[in-house]
Amino acid sequence: NAGVTQTPKFRVLKTGQSMTLLCAQDMNHEYMYWYRQDPGMGLRLIHYSVGEGTTAKGEVPDGYNVSRLKKQNFLLGLESAAPSQTSVYFCASSYSGGRFEQYFGPGTRLTVT
Amino acid sequence: AQSVTQLDSQVPVFEEAPVELRCNYSSSVSVYLFWYVQYPNQGLQLLLKYLSGSTLVKGINGFEAEFNKSQTSFHLRKPSVHISDTAEYFCAVSKSFQKLVFGTGTRLLVSP
């Protein structure tokens, strides 16, 4: 079991460029999440999905889009990167919401110059 | 809306000393409470969780936490820390089938 994997691990973008972060899980989890982590701010939820083909906005969705075409994959897109999107991005998955543990990927460090 | 407060952004402690990391939450209904740990350059992993029942919860690596409903707290403790416990610790809260809300984290720095 690989658990939750994220690609790429590191990326540097110029302002205005676009990119897609890929998250994959092999635990057959229904729920998947994208967070960003910034110093002193903890983890903030960007978007999440409660099942294949469904997505919903989290706390800080502006500037990001997501897709969940397959149950095991959750993609996070930045259409026009801005320096404020410099952050570490974590993907997580869980069997369901509420009481169920979330399993995290190793993170993607994104720098936008 | 629920929220989580971790008052201490950083806690320095010597090896083999006891430690307590504080977490308070705000919610008017029953909640589920979690502590996650993040080692340097890694993702988060679950340390322990409170769902119901006994208010004292034991987790991995010798950590434990006590749920106090009257004080809306869920403080994390360890009687004797190791250098390897140096990490960032996040408290989180959720309700039934709802999303996790994380605190801002407490960095535990263990020195010899």
Q: What is the pLDDT of residues A60-104, one digit of tens each?
A: 999 999 999 999 999 999 999 999 999 999 999 999 887 889 999
CB contact under 8 A, A4 and B45: no
pLDDT tens-digit series, residues B6-21: 999 999 999 999 999 9
Mutate to test the interface with A, among B44, B47, B57 (most CBs of A within 10 A): B44
Distance between A69 CA and the closest CA of chain B, angstroms:
21
Phi and psi for A4 in degrees, rounded to 5? -110, 125
Residue B93: exposure state from Cβ atoms within 10 A (0-12, 13-18, ≥19): buried
Residue in B41, B99, B102 nearest the CB of A42: B102
- What's residue A45's pLDDT? 94
Average pLDDT of chain B to the nearest whole number: 92
Q: What percent helix, strand, coil does chain B show, rounded to 5? A: 5, 50, 45
Distance between A52 CA and the closest CA of chain B, angstroms:
17
- What's residue B67's pLDDT? 94
Average pLDDT of chain A to the nearest whole number: 95
- What's residue B97's pLDDT? 66
- The residue type found at A42 is G
CB contact under 8 A, B97 and A98: yes
pLDDT tens-digit series, residues B55-111: 999 999 999 999 999 999 999 999 999 999 999 999 999 876 678 899 999 999 999
Instruction: Give percent of chain A with pLDDT exceeding 70.
Output: 100
- Put residue A51 in one of left, alpha, beta given phi > 0 → left and psi -120 to 50 → alpha: left
